[in-house]
Structure 1
């Protein structure tokens, strides 16, 4: 890579976000990666590679497109001095992955590292994060069509289950489309049935 190589902790942060394929809070980075999240000046060199969104009291970090591009480039890099045995093995594995992608250009890094969601609390965090990224003003309306596109790695049934729960808790308001004649086929597939109505637009209360 042409630019100065990032430090081990910075690379580990980006590669962890790549491997998980989703946004992570500081607590999740610590629990999954086993290292403390970067703060202050240590974040500066990777600022353009990570998008940080505040959801409630937590900060959720997600790879940007530039971050995914960095990860793809890193697959062809050797381990740096001081990486240790595990670091050497990791970069050997990353190199093999890079060679596979080079032989199969239609496969993208995001296709390989789709998120694995095990708890509904994690799905709610991802819903809130996607909502914040899509809405144009606090508590603004967002189409479920656009929201589901952001959550393409999660089954519709999982998203719906969490939306039902959030609706019962009155932290999300989901309403029918204002003009059904203007709905596309994607809109109709994205709706959620609540009561006797198919609903398409939502607004979330933000702490």
Structure 2
């Protein structure tokens, strides 16, 4: 059967379910929290829903990493590099060829991430690079806008969770993505393949 959005008539987010696996698009930034509230409130108390593992997969800007590198978040930090939440990674993920590092979560896509190409910019190229260097020294390997709220809610609710993102560019080298579209599509599939492998192992479909 064709896979379809199971909530297409009632919800602006996309929901796809295959057997015990549910995939939801959550949008950019802390809009994610709306989806998590509804997921935790309505779905998780459902009879038979147990041993839940949540993944946030997506894209990010890398710091000192080549485009296409997959980063498994060790700690979610704020824009001052202060650890906000430390997630507990399932040991079944540890054998994959990925980078484990801190993920910086910001409230803004442009100035908050040290970009120079927004409508407003209050710092120089040198200041941007110094900020990124400090982030790298603090163990930050990628930047996105969802990890702290995701890690916070999962921890408070005692849910196993992991943040896994692919880097689309090295922010030391620029703010704009110049990689061809077909290559970006392949990059974006990498976290999906990693999580799919985990799911297959968890369901006993592979050894």
Q: TM-score, normalised by structure 2?
A: 0.28
Bigger share in strand: 2
The structure showing larger relative contact order (alpha-carbon pairs under 8 Å, at least 6 residues apart) is: 2
Which entry has the higher C-alpha Rg, 1 or 2?
A: 1
More helix by share: 1
